Chain A
């Protein structure tokens, strides 16, 4: 039995088709992330899972039940909103127990649940305060407490960290992860931040224009993006896209890269069958910044290219340098101790074992 199953769900607003046939399924206890740029439909999908938006076509199943036409309160879900949506005229305690009150939970049980939840989230001292007396992080915890109190089969999170400042966001992120590990409930989490997606999720659904572009584990999507959009969206700084020519030399595939006025031919060691039909043509090489480093141990799939350094950005743990390959700005991640100067040539090691290739026109991955 799957925790959540979305069958060919579509959503139309007036004449606009906002969701075009979404299919996905997750197991109980999994942490699903819906990630994508604004307007991709992720929040709409979340609202439909919650029952706040109606389904134009298709069905949604939670556990064994078809909930497609059920009211939010009958779906056994709980939701944490971006703006926390705490009831302003009620205390924290009343906020958390509002849902229980409506379902006529007996007073003792209600008390016990509030106590358990507030202890778990460390908000006991706040129980008698009103939302306007709380900080952003505290409000977020109360919102989570309200959701926890319902003990639902699925938690829904709608960009809960977007309103917090950067530092708090990092803190809360690990708190949410910890909570998930402790409580083990299935979670569906919407965000536009790919870092949150990578760090929090068990599975990620990358969305764009109302469709799921790719569905898989974070590492899977990171290493094996299906198209250029996904490759560029996940990972920061984003993957470099370098248009280059494919040459077939002595039966092996090579790519032509020019840097600092010098032409290089790098061998492609991976066995990518689809590339053979592109011999002599132009493709887009996808290579992540961390795959272009200072020269180190000689690795089997790497090659050395001398590049002119244009910009140097130290980040602390490493240094990002921008060079130009095939006329395109390329970001490389080097160790902070590696010495380099702007407008000087520097040898860089290209790790070709994980590079990916995309068709120049369709932006689809070449396998």
Chain B
């Protein structure tokens, strides 16, 4: 191998270590007990594989007022994510379908309007939304949070489907219209069957965004209804007594597992979502 190849692989490996380091440290720390942590360093290997911290993080750690670990909040996140992902994906698909195959005057304007919606900092709607949720009786509930995630996820899912459906030839729809198919039949029998890739992209993107969200979670939920990110933050920042770094790390990994797993399994769809959003086209 030539010098330049060695150099290239060397640099790339160094970078890989940089990216892997935090995860490795987290994992190792979570498997140590507090004495080991205090006497060793970040990178010293755990002497035994001690899963106590994990048990604590899941079932007994204190997240603010209650001390029942992350398990309840994990479930909350699931309850929030599933309906929000499903509904925003379905609506996004229908929107994309209409915007590309059933254009009407103003449809481009509508799309532009949505697109701008993806760019605003959410801080500008925090207060009005808080008041609105209060008025609707949804303040501090998971349903309220689901609603918020659906509304602000619609712009992205619509973008994904619209950009994908643009490349389905219009002649296909025309042929179906001549055959006698109407709006819904065309969607069900012609468009949906070829939509699998983009549906996956949309689901993975939305799942990651919503599971990882903190801002909406911390503002619009309270107490036992909070998502796991809020609970994690509470857990780590609760300053009663001794800081249990191993529990903190275990908790962080638990919170990260779902999206990490999704990424490992279906990473290329995740990347497609990223690049589709950025190269808005």
Contact = CB atoms under 8 A, between A and B. Distances in A.
Partners in one complex: yes
Contacts of A88: 172, 193-194
Interface in A172-217: none
B178 A50 contact: yes
A73 B178 contact: yes
Interface residues of B, number: 16
A78 B178 CA distance: 7
Interface string A82-104: 11011111000000001100110
Contacts of A82: 171
Contacts of B176: 87, 98
B180 A89 contact: no
A81 B194 contact: no
B6 to A, nearest CB: 45
29 contacts: A50-B174, A50-B178, A51-B178, A52-B174, A71-B177, A72-B174, A72-B177, A73-B177, A79-B174, A79-B175, A79-B178, A81-B171, A81-B174, A81-B175, A82-B171, A83-B169, A85-B171, A85-B175, A87-B175, A87-B176, A88-B172, A88-B194, A89-B190, A98-B176, A98-B189, A99-B178, A102-B179, A102-B180, A102-B181
Contacts of B180: 73, 99, 102-103
B126 interface: no
Given A73-B181, A85-B169, 10 more contacts: A77-B178, A78-B178, A83-B171, A85-B171, A87-B172, A87-B189, A88-B194, A98-B179, A98-B189, A102-B180
Contact of B179 (A51, A83, A99): A99
Contacts of B175: 79, 81, 85-87, 146
Given A87-B190, A89-B194, A102-B185, A73 B179 contact: yes
Nearest to B178: A72
Interface in A210-252: none
Interface in A309-352: none
B195 to A, nearest CB: 10
A99 B181 CA distance: 8
Q: Across chains A and B, which 10 residue pairs bring their CB atoms closest together, nearest first?
A: A99-B179, A73-B180, A89-B193, A85-B171, A85-B175, A102-B180, A81-B171, A72-B178, A72-B177, A85-B172
Nearest to A158: B171
A146 B180 CA distance: 13
A93 B175 CA distance: 16
Contacts of B189: 87, 98
A1 B171 CA distance: 31
Interface in B175-223: 175-181, 185, 189-190, 193-194
Contacts of A71: 177
- Most B CB atoms within 10 A — which of A78, A82, A87? A87
Nearest to A149: B179
Contacts of B174: 47, 50, 52, 72, 79, 81, 85
Contacts of B178: 50-52, 72-73, 77-79, 99
A76 to B, nearest CB: 10
B59 to A, nearest CB: 48
Contacts of A150: 179
A56 to B, nearest CB: 15
Nearest to B191: A89
Nearest to B192: A89
A157 to B, nearest CB: 13
Contacts of A52: 174, 177-178
Nearest to A47: B174
- Most A CB atoms within 10 A — which of B169, B171, B175? B175
B74 to A, nearest CB: 38
A69 to B, nearest CB: 15
Interface string B158-179: 0000000000010110111111
A271 B172 CA distance: 54
Contacts of B171: 81-83, 85
A160 to B, nearest CB: 11
A202 to B, nearest CB: 24
Contacts of A146: 175, 179
A103 B179 CA distance: 9
A150 B180 CA distance: 11
Contacts of A51: 178
A82 B174 CA distance: 12
B191 to A, nearest CB: 10
Contacts of B193: 88-89
Interface in B21-45: none
A150 B190 CA distance: 19
B175 to A, nearest CB: 4
Contacts of A81: 171, 174-175
A234 B33 CA distance: 90
B109 to A, nearest CB: 15
A85 B170 CA distance: 9
A327 B180 CA distance: 59
- Most A CB atoms within 10 A — which of B172, B176, B178? B178
Contacts of B172: 85, 87-88
Contacts of A103: 180
A150 B172 CA distance: 17
Interface in A258-279: none
Contacts of B185: 102
B188 to A, nearest CB: 11
A226 B185 CA distance: 48
Interface in B219-253: none
